């Protein structure tokens, strides 16, 4: 129920903003980053919702599937991100590509090369295009740099670790969503401010009040584990029956929303 609700209420609600941003011929700084951040939320809640539905249905049939997402946008390093994001895919890439290529058994240069090749191939697994390859290359290079940095025990301000990791992930989502080389360049030019900074009329039209509410809810869900650990460490579910009322309510509301709007297919159905 929770997986279905976040897919319909959050991922599908943010889809029009993402589509509008990535269709702009010259997106501004605000347009590009708004579309990029909304896509980061969309793909997370779409695929995490899909995974949660599979896990829940499996549990109903007596199968216990492992978690596929563990708060990936709270990762402090790029290695940590891949321990939390799409765990079934990252585990497969590690076991059948990285280790098969030699892993870290043949020296540093070979290790960095294997990391690069593993993620580049992982990008091409999503589709045979330069944009998917670029997504994989960005992650491969980031993983290699992070490994080099940690092995050399080079100093780095810990306060910068999280924002740099998140910024790398967000930049990498741009070619992943653009799905073309030209579209990627257009969005990247907007993200670095080459097309101005103000929000465009097209983006203003799609930013309905309800959409802004769901964007805030999406951010609250993503960052709640960190807030809980920092300010409410003793807060735990009591397991009472009434705690099931909120997912049931959201589930019924999501059904009503879905019946009144055109459905958006799961993003990962295209891969």
CB atoms within 10 A of CB 15: 16
Q: Report long-range pairs for 15-21 (Cβ below 8 Å, ≥24 apart).
A: 15/42, 15/264, 16/206, 16/211, 17/203, 17/206, 17/207, 17/211, 18/42, 18/177, 20/202, 20/203, 20/205, 20/206, 21/187, 21/203
Q: What is the dihedral of CA 99, 105, 109, 114, to 10 degrees?
A: 0
State both tokens at 227.
């807030």
Residue with tokens 């609700």: 5
**126 is known as an active-site residue:** yes
Alpha-carbon gap, residue 142 to 254, rounded angstroms: 38
Exposed, middle or buried: residue 207 (CB in 10 Å: 0-12, 13-18, 19+)? middle
Does residue 203 contact residue 20 with C-beta atoms inside 8 Å?
yes
* Nearest partner of 177 among 215, 223, 134, 222, judged by Cα: 134
Alpha-carbon gap, residue 120 to 212, rounded angstroms: 35
Just list the catalytic residues.
126
């Amino acid at each position: 129920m929770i997986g279905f609700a976040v897919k319909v209420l959050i991922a599908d609600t943010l889809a029009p903003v993402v589509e509008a941003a990535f269709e702009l011929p010259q997106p501004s700084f605000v347009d590009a980053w708004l579309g990029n951040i909304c896509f980061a939320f969309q793909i997370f809640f779409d695929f995490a919702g899909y995974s949660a539905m599979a896990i829940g249905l499996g549990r109903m049939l007596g199968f216990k599937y492992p978690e596929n997402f563990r708060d990936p946008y709270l990762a402090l390093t790029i290695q940590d991100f891949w321990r939390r994001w799409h765990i079934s895919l990252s585990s497969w890439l590690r076991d059948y590509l990285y280790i098969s290529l030699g892993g870290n058994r043949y020296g540093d240069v070979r290790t960095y090369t294997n990391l690069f090749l593993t993620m580049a191939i992982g990008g091409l697994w999503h589709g045979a295009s330069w944009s998917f390859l670029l997504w994989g290359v960005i992650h491969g290079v980031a993983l290699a740099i992070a490994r080099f940095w940690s092995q050399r025990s080079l100093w780095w301000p810990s306060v910068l670790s999280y924002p740099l990791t998140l910024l790398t992930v967000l930049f990498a989502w741009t070619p992943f969503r653009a799905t073309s080389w030209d579209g990627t360049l257009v969005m990247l030019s907007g993200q670095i401010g080459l097309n101005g900074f103000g929000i465009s009329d097209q983006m203003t039209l799609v930013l309905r009040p309800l959409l802004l509410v769901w964007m805030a809810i999406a951010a609250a869900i993503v960052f709640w584990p960190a807030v809980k650990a920092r300010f409410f460490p003793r807060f735990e579910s009591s397991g009472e029956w009434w705690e099931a009322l909120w997912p049931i309510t959201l589930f019924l509301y999501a059904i009503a929303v879905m019946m009144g709007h055109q459905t958006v297919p799961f993003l990962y159905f295209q891969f």
